Structure 1
Amino acid sequence: MGTLPHRELGDGFSKALTVPASFKTPGSTSSNTYSTMNTLQAISLSHETASLEWRQALQLSKEEATAFMVHLKERELADAVMVVTTCNRTEVYFESAGTTAEVIQQELLQFKGVADEAAFSPLFKHFTHSEDTLQYLLEVGLGLRSQVLGDRQIIGQFKDSYQLTKDLNLGGTLLHQALQTLFRTHKRVHNETSFRSGASSVGYAALERISDFIPRKEFSGKRMLIIGTGQMGTDIARYATSFGFQDVTLTNRTDEKAQTLAGKLNLKTIPFADRFSAMASYDVIISCVSAGEQLTPSQIGMPLQENKRVLVDLSVPLSISPAAAQLPRTTLVNMDQITSRTEAVKKAREASISDVRHIVEKETAGFAHWLQDLPLYHSIGELKAFFATVLESELQKHTSLQEGDAASKLAKATLDRLIRRPAGALRAADGASREVLLQSLNQLFQIA
């Protein structure tokens, strides 16, 4: 089996193989030390298996996702964890040597206060092998499993989720490599296929859906209110004018955020506290807020004109009461009723699926090779650290080398020469031969 070039290793693990100028002392450990027992696993509840009413029960706010991940870490149920929670899915990716997917699922249901766990269990998918988890992560992150095929928002949601994991210091070697593989694969799909052609996302599809109730030629005369300027609301705000809407107003819990976006797009804003007083005057209201109270029919108000009014609820949990659909001349559309109207884009993307899956297979195979080589790189790194401590001890005996960086330069050159031959022998070996060499190395130098 060929060995991946050192530059293809994850950044975290590369650091573990680099011995700093101030050598490690005997018995020291690194946060990047790899456990050969860990596997990358995932649990998922998504639109593929669950309707909106089930999904919204497990939707997590950023604060809840933070608390849940910290909870898993503190209970030592996961060495690393990332939560991806969107309108269409709630997923937990985690590294562990002993925790099962069933345990994480149970923890999530209990965290959300779900009493009837048995009813939810069949709606979950579990991925318990690292390669299978990586492949699923790629398929989700690329939009292969989105309601709108190739949805561009999902990659940004993965980036935000992983950033939260890093901010909380809850990352790990396997999770890091998986996300780096996703980001690299995303670039490959963009550059090598037509899967990203055209502008299609949930927000784009929502605007297309409005044309089923209001002729597109009339958009220029309609007033639109977008509630919430997160990723979804921002996406819709950017597309709205290209669809012909000329009177678009933004409102957000944080007024400054809405004002900043409105300034960039040359749109209007109203204070969030004033939204109810103005709501009845809008022909199209799109709600993109989450974890808030539902808008009631009385808050939305009666339409001021005889024209049809469209309410679009893109929130999970729902942010517009279903009773609003009973208002005169009012149509209410939720997330599950949004379908892409861009048939040309859809066909182009469907035609590219085989190309995308081929790239996914290649990247998954590369990840599998990386997994197989991890024990090798771990042993080489530990051997290098062992040699470093010996060198440091010996060099400290020579006072003539204590000034400047002479000692560091000599140590580095000597260390590189010492490690070159055993590292080359390990890389050249394969299968059972490599296992024998690794076991012998670990026993001889007591570095396991």
Structure 2
Amino acid sequence: MTILTLGLNHKTAPVDIRERLTFGPDVIVGALRGLTEQTPVDEVVILSTCNRTEMYCAIDGRDTEGALRNWLGRFHGIEPQLFAPHLYAHEDREAVRHLLRVASGLDSMVLGEPQILGQVKAAFQTACDSGSAGRMLGRMFQHTFSVAKQVRTDTAIGSSPVSVAFAAVSLARQIFSDLSKQTALLIGAGETIELAARHLHQHGIGRIIVANRTVERAHNVAQQFDGYAIALTELASHLPEADIVVSSTASPLPVLGKGVVERALKQRRHRPVFMVDIAVPRDIEPEVGDLNDVYLYTVDDLQGVVEEGMRSRQQASEQAMEIIEVHTEEFMAWVRSLDAVSLIQDYRSNAERIRDQMVERAQRHLAAGKPADEVVCQLAHTLTNKLLHSPSVRLRRAGREGQSDLLDAANELFQLGSGQDATG
């Protein structure tokens, strides 16, 4: 059986192509069934995210790539020639290696990001529920989850900050060891603020307040993370509550001045405040950094943390690839063993059929009154001849034709000329 992966991602296709080829939750089950019914695939898992659409298939035949490409076009109502140049295809070993890289975060837009593993698990579970994942893909995906866990455990692939928002939260965790007792005030409602809110929420922040010029936008961000929204005009009244302040607006002028922060510190009785100004131009007056009990970082301060994080993750990715190479070969060894299992089963079935025939003949001879010792000797003699007939004929032919490789294989298989006792 062949393993085939066909797909595209953020490296090979622009966003407008990726958007047109995604599978939403409402169509994924129908798509899985359509693939198994309308193409030569026996098993299939579809992984569809904002950055990739991939079909992992187990097939018995060949020429499946074209059938999958045409099916993908029909399903989404797109001519295949529009997206075909953006597709990649991997078979067997390369398909396994690709899945291990994807699940470990090595193929992501942000190196080492952890969300993709959950998405891979969800895709596999959907395939299992729909009946499109069988023995081959089941073993491959379970193997993948184990390897991805090992990569996370044995390397630093996900521990170093690689975004400004991640770096800000990492620094906050160094200052406040227990975020569950802290309140974060996030100023702005753009992508960076949303990402910071996500990281804070994942690390158990006690409360989140989102301030924005448009309260509705602040509310859209806050509700995702059990926070609440305020207008920028309310900053002064809520600032004393904040242990962590992250600001990223498009304001041409600072939104937090030294005087406002001084008053907030007095109300806080000088409990320390961690502030991160990600905006360009700055949202927080530089003089705020001169105040006691304020730890103020700018985007330039964090950039060094981000660059160091990228270097650290790159080194970790090299370690991760060593793990992946080992486990790719481990899985392929299991796949190769399936051929041997089938061969052994056939060989045993043939031997057992001959055995049953000989036993039945012996029982008839015993019933006819022949001496038991004569029947046993005849049974052993006939059974030996029948079991050895076909291999003997084939080996004699190999000798005549000079097929030394077959003779060597037989010698290895039957351990002939090794001096070993056949019963040992």
* TM-score (normalised: structure 1): 0.52
**Is residue 2:2 matched to residue 1:39?**
yes
Q: Is the contact made by 1:135 and 1:360 (CA closer than 8 Å) also made in structure 2?
A: yes
Name which of 117, 130, 136 aligns with 1:174: 136
Separation in structure 2 between the aligned mates of residue 45 and residue 340 of structure 1, nearest angstrom: 33
**Is residue 2:44 matched to residue 1:81?**
yes
- Name whichever of 345-354 and 237-246 sits farther off: 237-246
Unmatched 5+ residue regions in structure 1? 1-37, 209-218, 253-257, 270-277, 284-302, 310-328, 330-338, 395-430, 438-448
Larger radius of gyration: 2
Local SS of the residue matching 1:69:
helix
Change (3 A) 1:221 1:93: closer
Separation in structure 2 between the aligned mates of residue 383 and residue 340 of structure 1, nearest angstrom: 65
Name which of 147, 156, 162 aligns with 2:118: 156
Local SS of the residue matching 1:79:
strand
Separation in structure 2 between the aligned mates of residue 201 and residue 174 of structure 1, nearest angstrom: 38
User: Residue 146 of structure 1 aligns to which amino acid in structure 2?
Assistant: S
Aligned residue number for residue 368 of structure 1: 332
**Is residue 2:113 matched to residue 1:138?**
no
* TM-score (normalised: structure 2): 0.54
Local SS of the residue matching 1:62:
coil
Aligned residue number for residue 357 of structure 1: 321
Give the aligned length. Answer: 282
Separation in structure 2 between the aligned mates of residue 375 and residue 350 of structure 1, nearest angstrom: 38
Separation in structure 1 between the aligned mates of residue 23 and residue 103 of structure 2, nearest angstrom: 18
User: Residue 172 of structure 1 aligns to which amino acid in structure 2?
Assistant: G
Separation in structure 2 between the aligned mates of residue 152 and residue 93 of structure 1, nearest angstrom: 20
User: Residue 370 of structure 1 aligns to which amino acid in structure 2?
Assistant: W
Change (3 A) 1:362 1:282: farther
Change (3 A) 1:68 1:242: same
Report 1:264-275 matches (<5 A).
266-268=226-228
Q: Which has the higher contact order (CA 8 A, sep 6+)?
A: 1
Separation in structure 2 between the aligned mates of residue 308 and residue 383 of structure 1, nearest angstrom: 81
Separation in structure 2 between the aligned mates of residue 377 and residue 110 of structure 1, nearest angstrom: 39
Aligned residue number for residue 26 of structure 1: none
Separation in structure 2 between the aligned mates of residue 194 and residue 54 of structure 1, nearest angstrom: 33
Ranges of 4+ aligned residues in structure 1 off by more than 6 Å:
205-208, 240-244, 278-283, 305-309, 382-391
Separation in structure 2 between the aligned mates of residue 201 and residue 96 of structure 1, nearest angstrom: 40
Which structure features the higher share of helix residues? 2
Give the CA deviation at 1:348: 0.8
Q: State the superposition RMSD in angstroms.
A: 4.8
Q: Deviations over 1:377-408 (max 9, x none)?
A: 234567789999999xx9xxxxxxxxxxxxxx
Give the CA deviation at 1:184: 1.6
User: Residue 112 of structure 1 aligns to which amino acid in structure 2?
Assistant: H
Q: Is the contact made by 2:45 and 2:127 (CA closer than 8 Å) also made in structure 1?
A: yes
Separation in structure 1 between the aligned mates of residue 333 and residue 169 of structure 2, nearest angstrom: 44
Separation in structure 2 between the aligned mates of residue 63 and residue 221 of structure 1, nearest angstrom: 34
